[in-house]
Structure 1
């Protein structure tokens, strides 16, 4: 009987440690920006409400990708994570990466840049998921 209790306690401890490790690994949002075009893409940045400084994304060569983690720590209630850039006429273009999140949310998003038209407007495909924990 003591062996069963000891094994049960060990299983619970290992499970708790595994959950804690998983939770720590998922802080914020893991973002991947993939350039599927035959042109270099530049001038992109990520932003959300109350951010102190927009997050600049370096130029991405054709068929390359850039990954980063966005972990909002500003004081806010709710926000949307947006990819923004200016087209060739200087007009601001916005794509929603994470439509809604609150402090403490985590998740990931993949932004696939499919094409760039003659006006510098991107055709993007975004797949994302979020979690409360």
Structure 2
């Protein structure tokens, strides 16, 4: 009985430690098109500097972390994380990655680029998971 209690306690401590250790948001961009994708930026209000996503080859993924505690200006309180890009005609397109977050929030998001039309407009699917801590 004591062994079960010890194992359960260790597992709970491990899970809680993992959750608390996660800083910010782990973002994954998946390029499922047959073309290279470039010109993507991730931004939110009061970010110190927008995050330029490097060229992603066809069928490849790019992973990175956004930490609002480190990446934000001092006056950041809350915001929405957005993916932005320009199409072939120079029109700016915005997709919401995380609809709402504050400093201290964490989570992850997967941005799947499914196709690109002749004008450079992307068909994007976004799945996110946000935690308050």
Pick one of 48, 66, 74 that aligns with 1:52.
Answer: 48
Partner of 2:77: 77
Residue equivalent to 2:99 = 99
- Distance of aligned partners of 1:37 and 1:77 in 2 relative to their CA distance in 1, 3 Å threshold: same
Q: Tell me how far apart the structure 2 counterparts of residues 124 and 8 of structure 1 sit (CA, whole Å).
A: 46
Aligned length: 129
Task: Provide the secondary structure at the position in 1 that maps to 2:16.
Answer: helix
TM-score, normalising length: structure 2: 0.86
Structure 1: which 5+ runs fail to align? none
Deviating above 3 A after TM superposition, structure 1's stretches of 4 or more consecutive aligned residues are 7-18
Query: In structure 1, what is the Cα distance between the partners aligned to 2:14 and 2:123?
Result: 42
Quote the offset at 1:27 in angstroms: 1.2
Cα deviation per residue 1:52-100 (whole Å; 9 max; x = unaligned)? 1100100000000000111112231210000001111111110000011
Tell me what 1:132 maps to: 132
Gaps in structure 2 of 5+ consecutive residues:
none
> What's the secondary structure of 1:22's corresponding residue?
helix
